[in-house]
């Protein structure tokens, strides 16, 4: 067993595609082997879906693919109503640790990379999170900016798994994976033809470039 394990890579970069609004895009992502699919429940997003849409879309997701619901400082009652259709929660606002962990599902916390952010402190503060999602900072915008940030600001020994987000696409994802070596990467706009409508070739190219970077 140990000899076999010694010949295998210890880690591959997990992939999350976010902002699904169409069933056919879910089918394509699943066929590509994407690990997690994100559904934006924040109504101010151009990629948002309501609970009825979530129920229909999540039913297309097979076993072993994680369904993630994205929320931004939203009511507990709404989140509770979404739980039957999700496997994990992603909090993208100013939620406190207590607010994040009051639900029955595992969760991750998105952090926008402000100049003054202390990631070691935030990892300790959100110690109950399964991972920290690191995204570009733009005042007043909780995510989905399509902008990157300085990846060198991410410490190599952070106490939580890192999910890298912010302006990723097939053009830069290989460099991102090689430089940051994140646990996972998260992309939305970089695989779209328009808001909420995924592009089949962009999705396939993104997955291909992650695999190539992992192989290096």
On whether residue 153 sits in a domain, the answer given is yes
Token pair recorded at residue 86: 């999700």
Higher pLDDT, 4 or 157: 157
pLDDT-derived band of residue 68, with 50, 70 and 90 as boundaries? very high
On whether residue 155 sits in a domain, the answer given is yes
On whether residue 115 sits in a domain, the answer given is yes
Instruction: Using the predicted structure, report yes or no on whether residue 7 has a pLDDT greater than 70.
Output: no
Question: 3-state DSSP call for residue 176?
Answer: helix
DSSP one-letter code for 190 = G
Higher pLDDT, 177 or 8: 177
pLDDT at position 156: 86
Summarize pLDDT for 83-138 with one digit per residue, the tens.
999 999 999 999 999 999 999 999 999 999 999 999 999 999 999 999 999 998 76
Nearest Cα to Cα of residue 43 among 34, 35, 51: 51
Question: 3-state DSSP call for residue 24?
Answer: helix
Spatial separation of the C-alpha atoms in residues 40 and 16, rounded to whole Å: 13
CATH code assigned at 103: 3.20.20.70
On whether residue 7 sits in a domain, the answer given is no
Active-site residue set: 18, 135
Higher pLDDT, 64 or 6: 64
Nearest Cα to Cα of residue 188 among 78, 36, 61, 63: 36
On whether residue 6 sits in a domain, the answer given is no
pLDDT at position 146: 66
pLDDT at position 89: 98
On whether residue 4 sits in a domain, the answer given is no
Summarize pLDDT for 16-38 with one digit per residue, the tens.
999 999 999 999 999 999 999 99
Instruction: Using the predicted structure, report yes or no on whether residue 1 has a pLDDT greater than 80.
Output: no
Range of the domain at 123: 12-215
Candidate from 52-56, 142-146, 193-197 with smallest mean pLDDT: 142-146
**What DSSP assignment string belongs to 71-106?**
ESS--HHHHHHHGGG-SEEEE-SS--HHHHTTSSS-
List, in sequence order, every residue forming a beta bridge with 108; answer none if it has no partner.
90
Instruction: Using the predicted structure, report yes or no on whether residue 176 has a pLDDT greater than 70.
Output: yes
Q: Summarize the confidence of residues 167-176 as an average pLDDT.
A: 96
pLDDT-derived band of residue 2, with 50, 70 and 90 as boundaries? very low
pLDDT-derived band of residue 3, with 50, 70 and 90 as boundaries? very low
pLDDT-derived band of residue 5, with 50, 70 and 90 as boundaries? very low
On whether residue 154 sits in a domain, the answer given is yes
Taking the CB of residue 46, how many other CB atoms lie within 10 A of it?
Answer: 12
Summarize pLDDT for 41-64 with one digit per residue, the tens.
999 999 999 999 999 999 999 999
Spatial separation of the C-alpha atoms in residues 168 and 176, rounded to whole Å: 8
**CB burial class (10 A; 0-12, 13-18, 19+) of residue 166?**
buried
pLDDT at position 216: 86
On whether residue 77 sits in a domain, the answer given is yes
Give the number of domains in the chain: 1
Average pLDDT, the chain: 92
Tell me the CA end-to-end span of the chain in Å, nearest whole number: 24
């Amino acid at each position: 067993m140990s000899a076999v394990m010694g010949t295998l890579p210890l880690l591959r970069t997990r992939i999350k595609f976010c902002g699904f609004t169409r069933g056919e895009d879910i089918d394509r992502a699943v066929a590509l082997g994407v690990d997690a699919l994100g559904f934006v429940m924040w109504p101010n997003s151009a990629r948002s879906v309501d609970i009825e849409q979530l129920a229909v879309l999540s039913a297309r997701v097979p076993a072993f693919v994680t369904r993630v619901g994205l929320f931004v400082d939203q009511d507990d009652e709404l989140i509770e109503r979404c739980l039957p259709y999700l496997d994990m929660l992603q909090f993208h606002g100013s939620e406190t640790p207590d607010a994040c962990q009051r639900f029955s599902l595992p969760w991750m916390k998105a952090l926008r990379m402000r100049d003054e952010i202390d990631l070691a402190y935030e990892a300790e503060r959100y110690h109950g999170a399964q991972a920290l999602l690191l995204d570009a900072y733009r005042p007043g915008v909780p995510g989905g900016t399509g902008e990157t940030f300085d990846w060198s600001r991410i410490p190599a020994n952070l106490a939580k798994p890192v999910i890298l987000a912010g302006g990723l696409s097939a053009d830069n994802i290989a460099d991102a994976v090689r430089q940051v070596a994140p646990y996972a990467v998260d992309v939305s706009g970089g695989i779209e033809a328009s808001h909420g409508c995924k592009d089949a070739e962009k999705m396939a190219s993104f997955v291909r470039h992650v695999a190539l970077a992992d192989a290096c």
